[in-house]
Structure 1
Amino acid sequence: MSMTEAALGAPAPSLRVRVGGQSVAGVREANQDAFAVRIPDKQAELEHAGIVACIADGVSCSENGQQASHTAVTQFIDDYYAAPATWGARYTVGKVLNALNQWLFAQGDLQQLNHNGLITTLTAVVIKSNTAHIAHVGDSRLYHCRGGRMTQLTQDHRRRHIGNKSFLTRALGMDSRLDVDFQQIKLEAGDRLVMTTDGVHDWLTDRQLDALLSKYPQGNTELPPEQLTETIIAEAMAAGSNDNASCLVIDVDDLPSMSLPETIAELTQRAIPPVMDVGNRIDQYQVIRVLHSGARSHVYLAKSLFDSKTYVLKAPSLNFSEDYQYLQAFVREGWLGEQINHPSIMKIHPFSRASSFLYHVCDYIEGITLRQWMYENPQPELYKVRALVGEIIKSLRVYQRNGVIHRDLKPENIIIGENNRVTIIDLGTAKVSGLDDLENPIKETLPVGDIKYISPECLTGNKITFKSDMFSLAVMVYEMLSGHYPYSLEAMKVLAQDRRKYPKYTSLKNYRDDLPIWVDLVVKKGCNLEENERYQAFSEFFLSLEKPTPSIISNSRSLPLKKKNPVLFWKFVSVFLLVVIFVLLLWEF
């Protein structure tokens, strides 16, 4: 039995491996070893389920050893890929192995002779993203090679007795209860995984096997995985192996970016940097200026000693060193900033694999915040606001296409650069579609974001959509035009405590009687307290700011003067009251 070399994967970064395998009966009449590998053809299945490889050795004392080993490897792979996509790798492997063990054990009970049970070893590896999930029972082996060093990852479940004979202490089908060794290792491009049965590793010492693997390292063209396994088995046979011999080699050529769970697991173990000052250095970055130092985070402008470029470093506060939820959110922000590559979104560079500290490295963005722009442009003309809103919406549509809801849109998180180019920063509270399906999603007990800008559904814990960001955008438009908020801060705080007490909208005309009434109606619709009453798309909101729809015009005409122009209304009322008072005074005299 043999397996030819295989390679699979989309353009980098992707999961790409080369596989070679060989299995021989040797001096035995029958081959009771078996191995199998499956590399999914579909990219989606490759990403969500991964690559599976397994090797098994049926016990030689049983006439059913071959059936046991072949059934184990084929059924394990079939059942693994048939499992629900919501199951994690370890959970799936555990469920499949327990079911497989029960079936093999039940079949063994049906045999007339006790020694003819369906018993086999099994060593399996699931390569998913950057992680190898390993399950092992019996005395087959898995080795890991990296940087010229070979390490045995599995432990032999067997006991030796008189005459150098040995017997298995754990195996599939041996008992109704199964005890499986599970472990995970982080993979790197260039790693090699080697799986063997006892017909190989009982006859080749670790030093001999290591020498063979070192002679033909991963990536060599002289002896690819298929030929390497043939060479290893030939060496075992030459050393006197009297058993079936099988070997499987998996060369990891390329890996995708780490998944979010992998990133969180690795980075939350890192140290939080101490508070730094100008001139301090962390890794290759030297602090030029302290941009922000607060209770939750510290932000620095720093120069890289590698490329002499200027970057922004963001580090969590030491106050949160024991707050795993906060650290998860911080890591998630970095992971998300790495995934989205667009000029309108703040770029966060991949975490350094060599650093022992937890911090973000972000591109430095020249410009001012929207807050500063509002200070410099009190009560601006409508066309200026429209231009900025159009740029902000471009950024928000990038988020929308990537299934991301920002949830903390506010003037401080929007940078305005040259030619009004807008960049949205701070992804710390962003919500990503699909991340709630993770095995350990981040659980939020309080609303996130600035209460002046977050939508009612965020405050009350209801389901959120892109319309939540639309609400925040409309509130900022209101503030840009008037310098005020459409809903009072106190009223929004009350809403956070009591979902039944919705605040009242304050008309823009109270602060800007020079604006057309339809502008007020457009903004009011954008920040409507009811999600389903807002615009159905960002583009619809923007177009309405440029040219009101017929329905908006109709509504503006039907409004009473008090709502259409409250300032003018109260002027009329004041004049009327003044006239009444004057008449009464004349009447009195």
Structure 2
Amino acid sequence: MVQDGRLWVAVGWASGQGPRADNQDFAGAWLGSETERARHGMVAALADGVSGGRQGRAAAELAVRTLIEGYYAQPDTIGVAAAVERVMAPYNRWLAAMGRGETMAHTATTFTGLVMRGRKAHVLHVGDSRAWHLRGDTLRQITSDHTHSHPDRRHILLRALGLEDQLRLDHHELALAEHDRLLLTSDGVHGLLNPRRLSALLGVRHSAQADAEAIVEAALAAGGQDNATALVIDVVSLPAVSHDAIAGGLAALPILPPPHEGESVDGFALEALLSDGRYTRLFRARDTAGGQAVVVKFPKPSLLSESGARAAFAREMLVGSRVASPFVGAAYPVAAERQTRLYGVQPYYEGQTLEVRLAHPVSLREGMRIAIALTRGVAALHRLGIIHRDIKPENVILGEDGSVRLIDLGVARLPRVEDFAHDEIPGTPSFMAPEMFGGHAGDEATDQFALGVCLWRLFAQSWPYGEVEAFSRPRFRRPDAPGKARPDLPAWAEAVLMRCVAIEPGERFGDVVDLLRALEGGAAVERRPTRPLPLIERYPVRFWQAVSLVLLIALVASLVLK
């Protein structure tokens, strides 16, 4: 059974000889022991022996075996690229020397090695075998072929293992996510199947082995005249991302003035300005590398200290990668070699903020659905010891599909992570609990208070303690019941709202799970069908008047008939 917080993958491979006399491709993978995975990661590789050489198959197999056997003997402190280079460089020199002799004359091989370590994949490559990365429905080619640029000479390799004494490996690094698929192919596959066809075959998402076999069968069925090999890797689970790792990666990035609509940053085309807040500027953007719509957030260095900006973005990435909840916004990691400045990338959710929705009245039914979903999102954070600290309608996205997501986690308080400087601890005054105005850094009770203010606005379209201007302190006294502004609000819901925004923390719910139970329990009662009341309960006076009249008529009738 796969355990959470550890690197684990599923691997499948297939190779077809085709019409060739022999198969000069070779692929392999080594998942390693638990200790090896923790220190060095997992290794896979594919090599395609050059057909003009005498021992192409031998060269390909030795290349893969050399990487797998030699990599784990290297110290884990020198980095993946340096370790692979240290292993493969001597093999390359040996193969080049053997290629000048009679026994292995002109022998060379392409080589694509893949090392998965931590939450990253490293691709080391030379030749025209390829590595691919599938995330969602988007397939991206990672490697570039080292072949002649002229269309008629693209079969001629310019670089490969054994072609020259000095090894020149391309190194690509990419951040992994669970459910990613990685694919290594020889030219007998990608020479026949274009990226769209490969994406469709990988998108079937059967087992890694079944899909590797399907890719090879499709290449041979398309009339391939070469060996065809495919190696498929499914990312099943990844180690939990650490704050130090994220903060360390962001530390070297410069903080620049935020860009403007229409500009492009690191391949993210900024299409529309979504928000221009006090500390950040948000854009809807198009990731030109994958084509998907995203949100890109940039800090404003003039209003937030450098340490505060880095802390905020590190928190957002950390929470977005750790919290797996449909009610909490996610975050996308950006490859280190791609990102040139400080910013964060998140999925783009079609819809509107709760703040925009509150411009029009919300029915009790719709409001209760939003309230329950939002409370579930807060509960998902609190379960991991994460305090949001800026819950407000502007930070809630109502999706066109009916989804509800809590976003903007850059100011969250995380366990075992250093907090902001005291004068930079954020929050929106109208949603801040009384204790936060006295210097409290925020906890589950203050999040519950902010959530309660959101629910108050959702149902009563008003503020329990009034709308508070920035840098001012409100006067906290028992608020008027929300039912005054919303007469159709059930008594139980009114009691829930009053308790959420209680001035004293001890008078609020024990935690948001208790609040969630109260909301779900009350909503269930409201939805429960009720039997029609009997006439005696609806109109008791008229009922007994009617009974008396019937008895009187019966009495008179009996006297007359006598």
Q: TM-score, normalised by structure 2?
A: 0.50
Q: Distance in 2 between matches of 1:148 and 1:258?
A: 27
Match of 2:317 in 1: 334
Residue type of the partner of 2:434? P
Partner SS, residue 375 of structure 1: coil
Contact 2:262–2:271 under 8 Å retained in 1: yes
Whether 1:148 and 2:132 are equivalent positions in the alignment is: no
Deviation at 1:274, TM superposition (A): 4.4
Contact 2:247–2:314 under 8 Å retained in 1: yes
Residue type of the partner of 1:374? L
Deviation at 1:366, TM superposition (A): 0.8
Deviation at 1:540, TM superposition (A): 3.3
Match of 2:61 in 1: none
Q: Distance in 2 between matches of 1:419 and 1:449?
A: 29
Deviation at 1:386, TM superposition (A): 1.2
Deviation at 1:305, TM superposition (A): 1.6
Partner SS, residue 359 of structure 2: helix
RMSD: 4.3
Residue type of the partner of 2:267? Q
Whether 1:310 and 2:312 are equivalent positions in the alignment is: no
Match of 1:161 in 2: none
What are the residue-to-residue correspondences of 1:124-273 with 2, within 5 Å?
Answer: 132=77, 145-146=82-83, 148=85, 256=239, 259-273=242-256
Match of 2:279 in 1: 296
Residue type of the partner of 2:494? D
Q: Distance in 2 between matches of 1:278 and 1:374?
A: 27
Match of 1:111 in 2: none
Q: Distance in 1 between matches of 2:258 and 2:80?
A: 43
Contact 1:429–1:448 under 8 Å retained in 2: yes
Deviation at 1:451, TM superposition (A): 1.0
Deviation at 1:416, TM superposition (A): 0.8
Partner SS, residue 432 of structure 1: coil
Residue type of the partner of 1:424? L
- CA, structure 1 residues 470+382, in 2 after alignment: closer, same or farther (shift >3 Å)? same
Residue type of the partner of 2:444? F
Match of 1:506 in 2: 480
Q: Distance in 2 between matches of 1:541 and 1:428?
A: 25
Match of 1:414 in 2: 396
User: Unaligned regions of 5+ residues in structure 2, if any?
Assistant: 10-31, 41-73, 88-117, 124-164, 169-236, 524-562
Match of 2:439 in 1: 461
Contact 1:348–1:363 under 8 Å retained in 2: yes
Whether 1:319 and 2:302 are equivalent positions in the alignment is: yes
- CA, structure 1 residues 544+189, in 2 after alignment: closer, same or farther (shift >3 Å)? closer
Whether 1:485 and 2:456 are equivalent positions in the alignment is: no
Contact 2:353–2:393 under 8 Å retained in 1: yes
Q: Distance in 1 between matches of 2:377 and 2:80?
A: 47
- CA, structure 1 residues 281+507, in 2 after alignment: closer, same or farther (shift >3 Å)? same
Partner SS, residue 284 of structure 2: strand
Q: Distance in 2 between matches of 1:408 and 1:391?
A: 17
Whether 1:368 and 2:352 are equivalent positions in the alignment is: yes
Equivalenced residues, count: 329
Deviation at 1:188, TM superposition (A): 7.6
Residue type of the partner of 1:471? F
Match of 1:282 in 2: 265
Contact 2:241–2:321 under 8 Å retained in 1: no
Deviation at 1:523, TM superposition (A): 0.9
Whether 1:388 and 2:370 are equivalent positions in the alignment is: yes
Residue type of the partner of 2:313? F
Partner SS, residue 427 of structure 2: coil
- CA, structure 1 residues 546+382, in 2 after alignment: closer, same or farther (shift >3 Å)? farther
Deviation at 1:311, TM superposition (A): 0.9
Query: Could you list the per-position Cα deviations for residues 212-252 of structure 1 after superposition, in whole angstroms to 9, with x for gaps in the alignment?
Result: x99xxxxxxxxxxxxxxxxxxxxxxxxxxxxxxxxxxxxxx
Q: Distance in 1 between matches of 2:447 and 2:306?
A: 27
Q: Distance in 1 between matches of 2:485 and 2:8?
A: 58
Whether 1:533 and 2:511 are equivalent positions in the alignment is: no
Residue type of the partner of 1:363? P
- CA, structure 1 residues 12+146, in 2 after alignment: closer, same or farther (shift >3 Å)? farther
Q: Distance in 2 between matches of 1:283 and 1:323?
A: 21
Residue type of the partner of 2:82? C
Correspondent of 1:348 among 331, 349, 361: 331
Q: Distance in 2 between matches of 1:188 and 1:474?
A: 40
Task: Calculate percent identity across the aligned residue pairs.
Answer: 23
Q: Distance in 2 between matches of 1:343 and 1:478?
A: 23
Contact 1:335–1:350 under 8 Å retained in 2: no
Deviation at 1:528, TM superposition (A): 0.9
Q: Distance in 2 between matches of 1:526 and 1:126?
A: 55
Match of 1:404 in 2: 386
Deviation at 1:463, TM superposition (A): 6.3
Q: Distance in 2 between matches of 1:316 and 1:395?
A: 25
Partner SS, residue 288 of structure 1: strand
Q: Distance in 1 between matches of 2:490 and 2:4?
A: 53
Q: Distance in 1 between matches of 2:304 and 2:427?
A: 21
Correspondent of 2:409 among 408, 427, 442: 427
Contact 1:268–1:324 under 8 Å retained in 2: no
Deviation at 1:342, TM superposition (A): 2.8
Q: Distance in 2 between matches of 1:518 and 1:144?
A: 62
Correspondent of 1:470 among 448, 462, 471: 448
- CA, structure 1 residues 403+283, in 2 after alignment: closer, same or farther (shift >3 Å)? same
Q: Distance in 1 between matches of 2:432 and 2:75?
A: 42
Deviation at 1:272, TM superposition (A): 3.0
Query: Could you list the per-position Cα deviations for residues 325-370 of structure 1 after superposition, in whole angstroms to 9, with x for gaps in the alignment?
Result: 2322222212221222332221111132112221111111011111
Partner SS, residue 435 of structure 1: coil
Match of 1:449 in 2: 427
Q: Distance in 1 between matches of 2:503 and 2:341?
A: 42
- CA, structure 1 residues 332+15, in 2 after alignment: closer, same or farther (shift >3 Å)? farther
Q: Distance in 1 between matches of 2:4 and 2:493?
A: 48
Partner SS, residue 332 of structure 1: helix
- CA, structure 1 residues 545+397, in 2 after alignment: closer, same or farther (shift >3 Å)? closer
Q: Distance in 2 between matches of 1:143 and 1:311?
A: 30
Partner SS, residue 497 of structure 2: helix
- CA, structure 1 residues 435+143, in 2 after alignment: closer, same or farther (shift >3 Å)? closer
Partner SS, residue 296 of structure 2: strand
- CA, structure 1 residues 286+348, in 2 after alignment: closer, same or farther (shift >3 Å)? same
Query: Could you list the per-position Cα deviations for residues 136-167 of structure 1 after superposition, in whole angstroms to 9, with x for gaps in the alignment?
Result: xxxxxx999345269xxxxxxxxxxxxxxxxx
Residue type of the partner of 2:316? E
Partner SS, residue 274 of structure 2: strand
Match of 1:520 in 2: 494
Contact 1:408–1:450 under 8 Å retained in 2: yes
Residue type of the partner of 1:376? H
Deviation at 1:315, TM superposition (A): 1.1
- CA, structure 1 residues 409+323, in 2 after alignment: closer, same or farther (shift >3 Å)? same
Residue type of the partner of 1:277? H
Residue type of the partner of 1:326? A
Q: Distance in 2 between matches of 1:143 and 1:464?
A: 41
Contact 2:5–2:240 under 8 Å retained in 1: no
- CA, structure 1 residues 389+41, in 2 after alignment: closer, same or farther (shift >3 Å)? same
